[in-house]
């Protein structure tokens, strides 16, 4: 694990006020997000049937946590995200175009190999999904949705800083979103890795949405991994802010217009995952039985870190850390939950 402690770092809030602020922050953001995107809160599963095809395969190599159930032939998997479950739920619950849902998603990423200031084995995020029309499957609609989410984040920051004036020294997040494609980043910074490109761009633009993640770029490599069966790789991306405290490009949300039958057919073929066509969820989607949607995930702990000026994700969520990280944080006066 690699933990970096910013020089002179000290939490702006006590651990007690941190807990109060996290609770308030989450309520404020949920209300603003729901209002701007026309979303209703629903309950969501912690695990799904292993054979349903509903679990998120992420980059394809991460192993979901699975377990058997007493006196049942089913084997369950803890969700890695709710990308597919949400779309099925929209159909089952009778949502119509222009309306959507959001929910709390808690996951275990046992194969997370970058445990550090901003990565944890435990993942908590708001998962959201909204029914759209065919004419909404375009970049303009995607960009408008991104701007609404950034507005919800910035509005939440304004309220939190009014209640906790000591946070005002963090400054304000940039409300204006700079849109750039992953291919443009590769063209502009050909000698850098994807993460290094993001950093250079965010240093300049502060708030950005990187478009087109999952498909191969001109170099033959994707900007980052994306499962082939939920986002349309040409209509997706990441919302990122420049984190002044940590000096890094800070991803808050992965989102996008979801695959229609044609996009899923193409992406399953390109990714070499044609075997998924036989799964119940994939059959329904390829047969045009599921609504067209847009959706994504917004990191709860990530947002708390950003708005409360925290240096380590363990300050805003309870997880497991190695002895080196625990000792390093203790010596720096950082309290991990």
251 is catalytic: yes
Six-digit token string for 285: 């989607």
| Catalytic-role residue among 124, 198, 232, 238 | 238
- What's the 3-state SS for 251-287? EEEEEEEECCHHHHHHHHHHHCCHHHHHCHHHHHHHC
Contact between 61 and 225 under an 8 Å Cβ cutoff? The reply is no
State how far the Cα of 219 lies from the Cα of 183, in Å rounded to an integer: 9
| Catalytic-role residue among 80, 81, 120, 125 | 125
State how far the Cα of 128 lies from the Cα of 296, in Å rounded to an integer: 6
Residue whose pair of structure tokens reads 């998120």 in the numeric block: 56
CB-based contacts of 56: which residues, under 8 Å, 6+ apart? 79, 80, 81, 82, 83, 84, 227, 230
238 is catalytic: yes
| Catalytic-role residue among 56, 155, 229, 315 | 56
What is the layout of strands, in order, in the sheet containing 248-258?
A: 39-41, 100-108, 122-131, 293-299, 248-258, 231-243, 207-211, 178-181
Residue whose pair of structure tokens reads 């890795």 in the numeric block: 193
- CA angle (43 as vertex; 41, 45 as ends), nearest 5: 140
56 is catalytic: yes
| Catalytic-role residue among 157, 254, 271, 304 | 254
Distance of CA 104 to the CA centre of its chain: 12
188 is catalytic: no
258 is catalytic: no
| Catalytic-role residue among 109, 197, 258, 276 | 109
| Catalytic-role residue among 251, 301, 302, 304 | 251
Contact between 54 and 281 under an 8 Å Cβ cutoff? The reply is yes
Q: What are phi and psi of 303, to 5 degrees?
A: -65, -40
301 is catalytic: no
Catalytic residues, by residue number, are: 56, 109, 125, 238, 251, 254
């Amino acid at each position: 694990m690699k933990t970096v402690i910013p020089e002179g770092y000290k939490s702006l809030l006590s651990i007690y006020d941190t807990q109060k602020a996290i609770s308030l922050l989450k309520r404020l953001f949920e209300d603003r997000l729901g209002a701007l995107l026309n979303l209703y809160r629903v309950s969501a599963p912690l695990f799904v049937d292993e054979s349903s095809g509903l679990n998120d395969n992420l980059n394809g190599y991460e192993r979901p946590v699975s377990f058997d159930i007493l006196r049942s032939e089913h084997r369950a998997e803890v969700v890695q995200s709710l990308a597919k479950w949400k779309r099925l739920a929209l159909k089952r619950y009778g949502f119509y175009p222009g309306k959507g849902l959001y929910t709390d998603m808690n996951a275990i990423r046992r194969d997370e190999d970058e445990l550090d200031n901003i990565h944890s084995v435990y993942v908590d995020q708001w998962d959201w999904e909204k029914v759209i029309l065919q004419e909404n499957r375009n970049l303009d609609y995607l960009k408008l949705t991104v701007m609404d989410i950034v507005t919800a984040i910035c509005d939440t920051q304004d309220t939190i800083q009014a209640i906790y004036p000591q946070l005002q020294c963090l400054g304000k997040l940039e409300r204006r979103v700079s849109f750039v494609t992953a291919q443009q980043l590769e063209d502009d910074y050909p000698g850098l890795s994807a993460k290094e490109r993001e950093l250079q761009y965010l240093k300049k633009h502060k708030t950005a949405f990187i478009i087109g993640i999952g498909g191969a770029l001109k170099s033959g490599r994707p900007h980052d991994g994306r499962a082939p069966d939920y986002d349309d790789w040409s209509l997706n991306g990441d919302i990122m802010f420049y984190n002044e405290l940590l000096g890094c490009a800070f991803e808050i949300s992965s989102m996008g217009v979801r695959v229609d039958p044609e996009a899923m057919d193409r992406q399953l073929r390109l990714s070499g995952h044609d075997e998924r066509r036989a799964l119940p969820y994939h059959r329904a989607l390829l047969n045009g039985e599921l609504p067209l949607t847009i959706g994504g995930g917004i990191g709860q702990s990530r947002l708390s870190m950003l708005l409360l000026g925290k240096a380590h994700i363990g300050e805003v969520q309870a997880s497991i850390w190695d002895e080196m990280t625990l000792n390093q944080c203790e010596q720096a006066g950082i309290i991990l939950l």
